[in-house]
Amino acid sequence: MIFNIKNNITRRNINKLTKQYRYQIIMYSILVAVIIALLSIGSTVNWFFRLYPNLDNIANNSFEFHLIDVGESNASAIVFPNNDVLLYDTGDEKHNIEVMTYIDNVLLRRGGSVKYLVISHTDLDHIGNVDTIWDRYKPQYLYLPDTREYANYKYQYLLNSVEQSNSNVIFNYEGVSLEISGVKLTWLSPNRPSYSETNDYSPIILVEYNDYKMLLTGDSGHNIGKDNGINVEAEAISYATSVDIDIDVDVLVAGHHGSKYSTSTLLLDYVKPEKLLISVGDNTYGHPANELYERILTYDQGNSSNLLQNIYTTEHNGNIIIDTIGINNEYRISTINNINSYLFIPYFVIILLALIPTLYLLVRSICIHNYLINYYSQKHTSTKEIEVN
C-alpha cells in the first residue's frame, strides 16, 4: 500500500527516507500557503484560470437583458426578477455551442428555467438552434411568427414538437403582452396578417421594468420596397400612439444587424434612445451600415444627444448585459468576451484540487514520521541492550 512505509523501507536507505520526509514537509507547507492565498484572492484566481465570467456586479433578483454574441445572427434573452428566462431568437446553428454554454452558465446561473421562447421569423440566423433549445429546455410558452407558409425544416420541427406537448403557442401580433415579476412586454408589431418579406414578421417589443424601457426589433425594417414600401417601424409607432403607449426608451436594439433598411430616422426620433445595441459579426452585407451611422449623427445633431458614442456591438463588445439597479431602476451595461474561453468550473473545485495533494502529503508525512520515530526508538533500545550486555 502507498502508506505502508515499513514494508518498503530497509535500514540501508533510512537516510533517503529522512530526506524524503523533509522534502514532503516543505511541499506540504507550500501547498498550505497556496490554499490560504487562494481563499484570500478568489477573484484573481477566477480571472487567472477563467473559471467564470465576473458577474458579481449584477444583483440577484434584478431585471437582466442579454444580447448574446452569435456573430452575424441574433439571440437575446431576458432574465426576469423571479429567475425565469425568455429567449428572443436562438442564433444560427454554427454558434450552437456558444448559445448553449451561455444559457446554461449565465442565463440559468440563478436557478431559473427557459420558460418563454420568442421566435421573430424563420430565417436560419434567428431560428438555427430552435430544435436544440426545444429538446433541452421545453419552454412552456412559445411566441411564434404566423408564417406557416415559410416553414423551413427548423420551424416545421418546432411546430411538430409543440403539437405533441403541453406548451402554449401564441402568434406574434400587435397587442400581445406578457408581464412577469413587474417586467412588462408589449408587442407593437406585426400589424398585418402577412408580409412578402419574412423579416417584417419580426415583432417589435417594448420592454418595461418600472422606469426602465427598451425596444427589441428583430429584423423588422422600413420601406424595403418588397412590400410596396411597407414601413413596419412606422406601423408599430402608429399602433403605440393609438393605444397611448409611451415608447421613449433608454435602450434600443437596432433592427436587422444594423442594416440600412432598419432603425429609421422616424424610429430614432420617437424612441429617443440613450444607448444602441447591435447584434452583428463578420459579414459581407456591410453591417452595420454607414447609412445607419449617418442617421444617428443626424439624430444627435437634432436632439443635442450623444447616441453615436453610445453604440455597443457584439462584434466589438462580445456578449452585452444590461441590468437594473437601485430604487429608480437605473441601468448599467457590462460585457463578456469569448464565452467559450471560460472553464465554468466552480471555485471550490480549484481549492479541492489543491487540497488533494496537500492531504496526501500530510498523511504520507505522518506515516514516515511515525516510522522514523519507531525506527530510531528501536535502534536506541537495541543500543542500550548491547551496552548492558
pTM: 0.85
Contacts of 8 (CB under 8 A, 6+ apart): none
**Whether 271 contacts 300, CB under 8 Å:** no
Residue 35 grid cell: 490554499
- Burial class of 263 by CB neighbour count within 10 A (0 to 12, 13 to 18, 19+): buried
Q: Does residue 253 or residue 381 have the better pLDDT?
A: 253
Peptide bond into 273 cis (omega under 30): no
Residue with cell 421569423: 121
Radius of gyration of the chain (CA): 31
Q: Strand 275-278 and strand 251-253: pairing?
A: parallel
Which pLDDT band, with edges at 50, 70 and 90, does 241 fall under?
very high
For 207, phi then psi, to 5°, come to -110, 125
93 burial class (0-12, 13-18, 19+ CB within 10 angstroms)? Answer: middle
**pLDDT, tens digit (0-9, with 9 covering 90-100), for 323-370:** 998 666 689 999 999 999 998 887 777 778 778 888 888 888 888 788
Cell of 307: 447616441
Backbone angles phi, psi at 77, to 5 degrees: -155, 155
Which class for 222: exposed (0-12), middle (13-18), buried (19 or more C-beta within 10 A)?
buried
> Residue ranges of the domains in the chain?
5-48+345-388, 52-341
- Which pLDDT value is given to residue 379? 64
CATH class of 52-341: alpha beta
Residue 59: predicted pLDDT: 77
Q: Which residues of 142-159 are buried (b: 16+ CB within 10 A; e: fewer)?
A: bbbbebeeeeeebbebbe
Which band of pLDDT confidence, cut at 50, 70 and 90, is reported for residue 385? low
Q: Which of 30-39, 57-66, 379-388 has the highest mean pLDDT?
A: 57-66
Where is pLDDT greater, at 130 or 386?
A: 130
By the 8 A CB rule, do 192 and 208 touch?
A: no
175 forms bridges with which residues in the sheet? none
Q: Give dist(CA 277, CA 125) in Å, integer.
A: 18
In the beta sheet, which residues pair with residue 321? 66, 334
Measure the CA–CA gap between 354 and 140, rounded to whole angstroms: 43
